[in-house]
């Protein structure tokens, strides 16, 4: 509720309480949906997490042109299902950057769920090395860009009425690889059903000014959250860090 109050200063307490209730319903559903990945069929997966025709056309075009892509998204909608559907429908292999869990049992469970339809995982600390190793392959690499990075290395961006640290990693890697940056939205249509929409954010990242890509994908996520606030991960301590004070 602290996150909601700070992010929506113009909303009444009753409105904020309703968003909070809707969020917890969504969160419970998402946990169940994610575990359902262990048994769901390919046909049901595609039915419940639909890619728009324009989204499929964009990824087909990138594959046909031999261009690998950097995908950027937030903890919104069912991001796990979006990765599974991508691996079922799209021509290029998908790599997802992830934090390995300390608990080996749960880490193995999540690994099976995420890779069941062909998605490949890259541990965060291995990201650039693995992308360079795979540079001859036409693929897509997905970054969840709304983590809470260390303040000293972050770019600070206004986000939901708050001074917010954003990781520069997605931008830096996209520029080094000069891979087109595609923003991915996951919107809930109704309980258990989602629509995925992808839009080209930056075609030539190497030519972008420093910080521009980070601002662009942060703005896109903010727009998505404002349109559908209950389906973002409000329980995450997104604003636990404060901007370091100048010496």
Q: What is the pLDDT of residue 211?
A: 96
- Taking residues 112-140, report their average pLDDT: 93
Within-domain flag for 243: no
> pLDDT category, 246, cuts 50, 70, 90?
low
Q: State pLDDT tens for residues 203-229.
A: 999 999 999 999 999 999 999 999 999
Q: State pLDDT tens for residues 45-101.
A: 999 999 999 999 999 999 999 999 999 999 999 999 999 999 999 999 999 998 887
Within-domain flag for 163: yes
Burial of residue 233 (CB within 10 Å: 0-12, 13-18, 19+) is: middle
Contact 201, 215 (CB under 8 A): no
The answer to whether residue 247 scores a pLDDT higher than 60 is no
Within-domain flag for 241: no
> pLDDT category, 44, cuts 50, 70, 90?
very high
> pLDDT category, 244, cuts 50, 70, 90?
confident
Within-domain flag for 22: yes
- Please report how the helices 212-227 and 169-177 are oriented relative to each other, as an axis angle in degrees rounded to 10: 130
Within-domain flag for 244: no
Measured distance CA(131)–CA(154) in Å, rounded? 22
DSSP state of 151: G
Q: What is the pLDDT of residue 203?
A: 97
Within-domain flag for 247: no
Within-domain flag for 239: no
Residue-range definition of the domain harbouring residue 223: 2-231
Whole-structure pTM value: 0.94
- Taking residues 137-166, report their average pLDDT: 94
Number of domains in the chain: 1
Within-domain flag for 78: yes
Find where tokens 């359902």 sit: 36
């Amino acid at each position: 509720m602290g996150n909601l109050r700070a992010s929506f200063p113009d909303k009444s307490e009753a409105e904020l309480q309703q968003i909070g209730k809707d969020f917890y319903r969504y969160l419970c559903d998402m946990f169940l949906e994610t575990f359902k990945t262990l048994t769901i069929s390919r046909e049901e997966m595609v039915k419940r997490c639909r890619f728009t025709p324009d989204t499929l056309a964009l990824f087909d075009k990138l594959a046909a042109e031999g261009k690998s892509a950097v995908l950027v998204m937030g903890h919104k909608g069912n991001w796990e299902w979006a990765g599974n559907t991508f691996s079922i429908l799209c021509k290029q292999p998908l790599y997802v950057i992830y934090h390995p869990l300390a608990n080996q049992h749960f880490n193995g469970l999540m690994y099976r769920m995420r890779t069941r339809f062909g998605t490949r995982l890259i541990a965060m600390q291995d990201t650039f090395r693995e992308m360079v190793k795979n540079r001859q392959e036409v693929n897509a690499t997905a970054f969840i860009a709304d983590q809470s990075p260390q303040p000293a290395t972050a770019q600070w961006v206004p986000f939901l009425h708050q001074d917010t640290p954003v990781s520069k990693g997605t931008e830096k890697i996209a520029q080094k690889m000069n891979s087109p940056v595609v923003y991915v939205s996951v919107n809930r249509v109704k309980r258990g059903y989602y629509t995925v929409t992808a839009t080209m954010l930056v075609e030539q990242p190497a030519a972008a000014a420093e910080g521009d890509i980070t601002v662009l994908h942060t703005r896109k996520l903010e727009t998505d959250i404002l349109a559908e606030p209950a389906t973002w991960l409000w329980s995450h301590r997104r604003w636990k860090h404060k901007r370091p004070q100048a010496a």
